[in-house]
Amino acid sequence: MRRDLELMVRHNINAVRSSHYPNDPRFYQLCDQYGLLVMSEADNESHGTQAQFLADESWDNVVEHWNELIADSPDWTEATLDRVQRCVQREKNRPSIFSWSAGNECAYGCTLEVSLAWMKEFDPDRVTHYESAFYRNSKRSYDYSNIDLYSRMYPSQQEMLDYLAGDPDKPLVLVEYCHAMGNGPGDLEDYWQLIHTDPRLCGGFVWEWCDHAVLADHTDDGRPCYLYGGDSGEVIHDGNFCVDGLVWPDRRPHPGLLELKNVQRPARVVAHDPGAGMLTLRNDLDFTNLDEVVDLSWELVCDGIVLDRGDLSFTRPVPPHTETQVTCRPQLPRVGRCHLRVTQRLRVGDAVRAAGQELGFDEVAVPVADPRNQQSVQLLEAPPGAVSPAVEQDPSAITVRGDGFQYRFDTGTGMPTSMLVGDQEMFTAPAEVNIWRAPTDNDRRIRLEWERARYPYAAVRAHECSAQTLDGSVVVRARMTLDAATIQPILRLDASWTIDVAGRLRCQMDVTRTPEFPTLPRLGLRFFLAPELDQASWVGLGPGENYPDKRQASRHGHFTSSIDGLFVDYLRPQENGSRGDCDWVRVEQADAARGLTVTSPRPFSFNASRITQEQLSITRHDVELDPDDQVVLCIDHAMAGIGSNSCGPELLARYRVDDETYHVDLVLAPTRR
């Protein structure tokens, strides 16, 4: 229990909901000690009555009848009130409790009206809460006067805006939001961008803290084997739906917990004036002056390298919810992709956190004369070549040979099938156009549409494929479609592969998506590489996994990892390990004897793993995965966001891969010595 609460404090969590029942008395005592706020919830839940059989099973009719069996039945008033009174009476003297919750998911009726009236009369100083008051029938009017907080579970941001537009008399708390199931949650930052705009938005409680799974055994190499619903032969179960926490069962933090920590950092950089050398910070603490608890430092990161650093000083007190300006004048280069990172650290340690612990950081892009990554610029500029590579064509293949390399293309697909560098083959299988990802838990609804569209089985085929020599290079051109059996083409692609004298391979594709199809999981290329290429380095976001809507815990830099170290072992296997906003990535042997570097004129994401997306898609447990004897490198021009649609709203439109046209442009540069 101490470990859980200390982890929460270290990750900027300031409130806990004791869902869906009162906790151990020691829990409240520890929350008093650690300074965590508590919404203490009574043990009332009758969610199962929602599942009663009805002739009309439309949602509106389900809600019309949900409360009849218990919540609005006088037969249950005494029992409901008894549970509320026990909850309140037992912990009424605990200072950490700021709110009493009458229960969870019972719908609303006379039993809760009586209980909330008693609760408010007995303890008028604490705020009252009951989310399920939202669900009632139309047979009578209901009394909401004893509920202080309006509350919703998993609302969309539009629903929150609609509530505020109605000039409500009660603040809104998200009693559950950002379902943290598997790879997720992906929409924390978007929620908090909205929450910070209006004081009537109280914040929320992420669902939930830990993955609930049973430790059954350990593998030979010491990895824990966890079981979830259905693994013990039971008929009625929730599958892995209870594996939905911010930490693994053994309390290792998920990437989602790191995301939450930085989203809930004490302060934010809200403006940057590079000309004046001025940063504007907003103190998001509720009770404390920022200058009394936080030390600030900065780093200038260009092309992944820290070029300059220093400390920042407050010139005046910064009360809660106010802004201040601090001076920051790094020495800027003329060229390079540059970011200014401002880090907040705890000034004085406490019982849980040591002085100097990082509390969070901000990054802002810094404009310079040429904001391109200069290593990428060099890779993208083809060297002059007096002698073009040689090219051979036959009906089934195009072969391009140069000094120390030989590449082969399949005329039936328009894709490279072999990359021979020196006398060593880089590929273990032909390259692919890739739109599939192993569905995350938050893809569980859109997955049905993806599978109906046959995305897992889509493959490219060329309708025309030819080669020509042009300006000292060989250009392989292909007109292609991405198809699956029984459906029309998903994508139409006009591709060119340009091989220069140095053996660099530039792929440019104009892609048109058939708009009737569902949004894509991703759009990119997939390469199957020799197993010896087991080390990765990149300039982009890291060090951990990140996605378009799940990147607040990641920072720009130059990172290295083993291929195995990029993998995130969610208990139910799924898409994981992507690194985004990259300028380049290199996979190579440990001795750097050979490798492959990929870059692009625009930032991209990559994923490198020994586990294919096909295996991830069908495997139930992480310990059942069987790594391949190859490295699978996915280079993604576009990657869908993560969201929290396992229990929450649909993925926000700006994170979907659903444009009608795309232009893919990347360079592959093999290296050897």
Which residues are marked as active site? Answer: 105, 176
Place of tokens 């040689």: 390
Give the pairing of strands 459-470 and 427-434: unpaired
Place of tokens 């605990």: 94
Select from 495, 609, 605, 613 the least CA-distant residue to 554. Answer: 605
Angle value at C-alpha 398, between 397 and 403, nearest 5 degrees? 135
What does the alpha-carbon distance between residue 243 and residue 575 come to, in Å, rounded to a whole number? 16
What does the alpha-carbon distance between residue 183 and residue 189 come to, in Å, rounded to a whole number? 15
- What sign for the dihedral angle of Cα 13, 17, 18, 24? positive
Q: Who contacts 43 (Cβ-Cβ below 8 Å, separation ≥6)?
A: 20, 21, 22, 83, 86, 87, 103
What does the alpha-carbon distance between residue 396 and residue 163 come to, in Å, rounded to a whole number? 62
Q: Do 431 and 598 touch, CB atoms closer than 8 A?
A: no
Q: Do 437 and 641 touch, CB atoms closer than 8 A?
A: no
Q: Do 642 and 185 touch, CB atoms closer than 8 A?
A: yes
Give all strands (DSSP E) within 441-578, no chain letters: 459-470, 473-483, 491-499, 505-513, 522-529, 535-542, 555-562
Question: What tokens appear for 191 in the block?
Answer: 């929620």
Q: Exposure string (b/e) for 228-261, b if CB count within 10 Å is 16 or more?
A: bbebeeeeeeeebbbbbbbbbbeeebbbbbbbbb
Q: Do 194 and 174 touch, CB atoms closer than 8 A?
A: no
State how far Cα 533 lies from the chain centre.
Answer: 27
Select from 483, 498, 489 the least CA-distant residue to 398. Answer: 498
SS3 label, residue 14: coil
What does the alpha-carbon distance between residue 593 and residue 530 come to, in Å, rounded to a whole number? 13
Q: Do 527 and 632 touch, CB atoms closer than 8 A?
A: yes
Provide the 8-state DSSP code for 266. S
What does the alpha-carbon distance between residue 547 and residue 552 come to, in Å, rounded to a whole number? 9
Judged on CB neighbours under 10 Å (0-12, 13-18, 19+), 654 is exposed
Q: Do 651 and 643 touch, CB atoms closer than 8 A?
A: yes
Give all strands (DSSP E) within 471-515, no chain letters: 473-483, 491-499, 505-513
